[in-house]
Structure 1
Amino acid sequence: MEDNYGIPILDIKVHKVISPLGRGAKGVVFLLHTKTESPKEQFLALKVVSKSSIEEDNASRRRYNKEYKTIHLEKEILSSLHHPLLPKLQGLVETERIIGYAIDYCPGGNLHSLRKKQTEKMFSDNIIRFYAAELVLALEYLHGLGFVYRDLKPENIMIQENGHLMLIDFDLSTKLPVKPPQSIRHTTKQSAPETNKKKKQLFRFQKYRNSGISPEDDSTTTITVPELASIPTKSNSFVGTEEYIAPEIIQGNGHDFAVDWWCLGIVLYEMLYGITPFKGTNRKDTFNRILHKSPCLVGETTFLRDLIEKLLEKDPMKRLGIEEIKRHDFFKGVDWELIGKISRPPYLPIEEEEMKENGEIDVERFVQRVFEEEEMKEKERTVIDHKKNVQELNQLYEPNPFLVF
């Protein structure tokens, strides 16, 4: 069974939900085992949102509709993606109580957990170059479709079975409307004959194990990145993850695709140093650092540190764009067309003989319980914040006994 766009409708009572994988601000992710005729087992990541949580969390119908628009925009984005570094929408789930969708499962976890496994909790420049190049390609493709991602962080960067990255979670993404340009300039690059093209491995890593991608495999699909042939207008939404938010979002002057390149700079800094560059003691302090402080790039001057500094430019008009990034010296020698053919990425997930199962899971009840617990915690936080505000007001307006006379 399929929906109007040809996307399979999944019955969670037929397919087996093995275990919960994690949760975000708006959904719970489960590991789903789909039953197919293929001898190879297929596992998907199923993200589920409680309909009641959307309704209860919104005081007005306007906000309610906004949440549903977000869900459907994410569905639109996923259904339009055809890129090896981005997920494919594998199926939809909807009942009276939940709504969700299934995408490819990445057994390698996310980049945050992978960094934590490193001896010094940091990556080498060579490994950073590989992951950075793949992130650049993924963002370039999204921007070509008119989507600005707005939530690039290691927790949203997954490791596929073949060791390549996959960018997930489009909760905060948006599509920027465009205005026709006054003039469009097209450039055509003539490629060399295939017989004369020397295929080379872009990065040298230790011999871990074969990922299943052969450098000589000519069947690899060529990805065509759509050009932004129009001028994008800006978004005024205040969205993002605190430590990764670009200055222009905090300032509220409107933002465009440049916010993703700022986030890339934060991610590269975190991979290099193990921390984010602007984390403060609280939200206000963090935002103040983002707006006014320069990143502390400790160590010798390198191409990587230079790239990070130029990506973390406060003024989005002066920040590096896609072409400048790809031409930067840090990526010197990188053949952007062959990155997807690298057969030995720096890390490959270890095959597990058997997936861990937690018994039969009632997805609807599980999701409802999670959001009920979160709602209770939110109410407790609200009460605590209210009491704190009252105490501060009482201290501020405490009468001076000397003023009685």
Structure 2
Amino acid sequence: MSKALIAQKRTRKKDEEEYGRVSFEEEVLRRFDHALLPRLRGVLETDKVIAFAIDYCHGGTLHSLRKKQTEKMFSDDTIRFYAVELVLALEYLHELGIVYRDLKPENVMIQENGHIMLVDFDLSKKLNPKSPHSLSQNSTPSPNSEKRSRKQQRLTRIYSFCNSGISPWDSDSEPALSTVDSVRRTESDSVEKSNSFVGTEEYVAPEILSGKGHGFSVDWWSYGILLYEMLYGTTPFKGLNRKETFYRILTKEPELTGEKTALRDLISRLLEKDPDRRISLEEIKGHDFFKGVKWDKVLQIARPPYIPTNEVENKVGFSKNDVEVFVNEVFFPTNDDDGVENREHNKKNDDFLIF
């Protein structure tokens, strides 16, 4: 991560929590123990960069892999494999109390063995279980909280349709990670919700745009967008600009052209705008699209749909300067051949985050 870029974000957004986000991501990475999530191998900090070392993924991203397909889309069987592994990865995160909030093909890497690795947790958030006091207060909010809520909702509606698409209000603070009971609860009853306006525009859930608070269900919405993109080669609510995209997310239904299949039914249920009616984890795993899947055996599959070739020469002895140069080229490319494409892609799919 470029410290210069972090400084730019702090200046632009007047956000003093940018370095706090880096620390939070490091703490999250240190906690992972799952075959589909990265392991933190080391941390390096210089005057210019902060770097987390994780295992190299030889197959690139799911985004780049889709682009290599003949019609830039996957078959149902291939979608099923990656869809199953994404369910397992998100299930693990949610059991830790972490909502991911940035699921998109660019954040799904392909490991050397062909299995996925979910990366990039800088937009993730720890959702704490509600305290008994907060549970008892749910039905009788204080006048001040009601007043602030009405004010926040009015401002959110105004700002969510402006070109920037970013609301300036949020009452969240980042809690430290702690042990979370992995027994599943009813989210709306037992877990605090976040009011952060955060995500990548084509994948962001309606409840984030409406400013009503969100929980783990936002990940299942983004999961539905990702499945749609793998099936059709595009996202379902893409507009000419951010404002139009947000409008379509809030008001339009996805166009699921083609014959009715289990996959299309699953996508439609994932892209339910009301999070309380959206399909849950248990319903997803029991859906017809995953009929016959042996969930406890998936990680043992030896022949995933795509096995990348190792084209990377093993090297040792990288200096801190090597890392700085590499990171600088990623964030501030100067090569016109692929730098322009990278800059346009990053601009088009810009993540947004306000606290």
- Is residue 232 of structure 1 aligned with residue 226 of structure 2? no
In structure 2, the residue matched to 1:283 is 242
Give the distance between the partners of 2:250 and 2:50, measured in 1 at CA.
38
Structure 1 gap segments, 5+ residues each: 1-26, 28-48, 183-224, 378-405
Q: Once the two structures are superposed, what CA deviation does each residue of 1:297-351 show, in whole Å capped at 9, x if it has no partner?
A: 0000000000000000000000011001000111010111000011111000013
Which residue among 177, 202, 205 is the counterpart of 1:243? 202
Give the distance between the partners of 2:247 and 2:8, measured in 1 at CA.
33
TM-score by length of 2: 0.74
Counterpart amino acid of 1:312?
Answer: L
In structure 2, the residue matched to 1:23 is none
Which residue among 306, 310, 314 is the counterpart of 2:273? 314
In structure 1, the residue matched to 2:293 is 334
Size of the alignment, in residue pairs? Answer: 283
Task: Give the deviation of 1:58 after TM superposition.
Answer: 2.1
Counterpart amino acid of 2:182?
Answer: P
Counterpart amino acid of 1:311?
Answer: L
Q: 1:101 is paired with a residue of what secondary structure?
A: strand
Task: Give the deviation of 1:354 after TM superposition.
Answer: 3.5
Counterpart amino acid of 1:258?
Answer: S
Q: 2:295 is paired with a residue of what secondary structure?
A: coil
Q: 1:166 is paired with a residue of what secondary structure?
A: strand
Larger radius of gyration: 1
Q: 1:284 is paired with a residue of what secondary structure?
A: helix
Give the distance between the partners of 1:78 and 1:258, measured in 2 at CA.
22
Q: Once the two structures are superposed, what CA deviation does each residue of 1:249-291 show, in whole Å capped at 9, x if it has no partner?
A: 0111110000000000000000000000000111111011100
Give the distance between the partners of 1:333 and 1:273, measured in 2 at CA.
24
Task: Give the deviation of 1:120 after TM superposition.
Answer: 1.3
Task: Give the deviation of 1:180 after TM superposition.
Answer: 5.0
- Is residue 145 of structure 1 aligned with residue 145 of structure 2? no
Which residue among 15, 33, 36 is the counterpart of 1:63? 15
Q: 1:104 is paired with a residue of what secondary structure?
A: coil
Give the distance between the partners of 2:312 and 2:23, measured in 1 at CA.
36
Q: 2:15 is paired with a residue of what secondary structure?
A: helix
Task: Give the deviation of 1:365 after TM superposition.
Answer: 5.3
Structure 2 gap segments, 5+ residues each: 136-180, 335-339, 341-355
In structure 2, the residue matched to 1:188 is none
The change in CA–CA distance for 1:255 and 1:106 in structure 2 (over 3 A counts) is same
Give the distance between the partners of 1:295 and 1:166, measured in 2 at CA.
28
The change in CA–CA distance for 1:343 and 1:57 in structure 2 (over 3 A counts) is closer
Give the distance between the partners of 1:364 and 1:351, measured in 2 at CA.
24
Task: Give the deviation of 1:114 after TM superposition.
Answer: 0.7
Task: Give the deviation of 1:95 after TM superposition.
Answer: 2.5
The change in CA–CA distance for 1:274 and 1:178 in structure 2 (over 3 A counts) is same
In structure 2, the residue matched to 1:174 is 125
Residues 145 and 226 in structure 1, CA contact (< 8 A), matched pair in contact too: yes
In structure 1, the residue matched to 2:324 is 364
Give the distance between the partners of 2:310 and 2:8, measured in 1 at CA.
41
- Name which structure has the greater RCO, CA cutoff 8 Å, separation 6+: 2
Q: Once the two structures are superposed, what CA deviation does each residue of 1:341-384 show, in whole Å capped at 9, x if it has no partner?
A: 11111000013274699x9854335645776789xx9xxxxxxx
Q: 2:263 is paired with a residue of what secondary structure?
A: helix
Which residue among 225, 234, 240 is the counterpart of 1:266? 225
TM-score by length of 1: 0.65
Identical positions, percent? 61
Q: 1:178 is paired with a residue of what secondary structure?
A: coil
In structure 2, the residue matched to 1:82 is 33
Q: Once the two structures are superposed, what CA deviation does each residue of 1:62-115 show, in whole Å capped at 9, x if it has no partner?
A: 723x00110011011111110000000110111233222111110000101111
In structure 2, the residue matched to 1:162 is 113
Give the distance between the partners of 2:247 and 2:228, measured in 1 at CA.
19
- Any residues of structure 2 matched to 1:5-404 within 5 Å, and which? 27=1, 49-50=2-3, 52-59=4-11, 63-64=15-16, 66-180=17-131, 226-228=182-184, 231-352=190-311, 354=313, 362-364=322-324, 367=327
Aligned CA RMSD, in angstroms, stands at: 2.6
Q: Which runs of 4+ in 1 moved over 6 A?
A: none
Give the distance between the partners of 1:168 and 1:161, measured in 2 at CA.
15
Residues 9 and 18 in structure 2, CA contact (< 8 A), matched pair in contact too: no
Q: 1:256 is paired with a residue of what secondary structure?
A: coil
1 or 2, which has the higher helix percentage?
A: 2
Residues 311 and 319 in structure 1, CA contact (< 8 A), matched pair in contact too: yes
Task: Give the deviation of 1:177 after TM superposition.
Answer: 1.5
Residues 143 and 228 in structure 1, CA contact (< 8 A), matched pair in contact too: no
Give the distance between the partners of 2:87 and 2:306, measured in 1 at CA.
19
Give the distance between the partners of 1:111 and 1:168, measured in 2 at CA.
12
Q: 1:276 is paired with a residue of what secondary structure?
A: coil
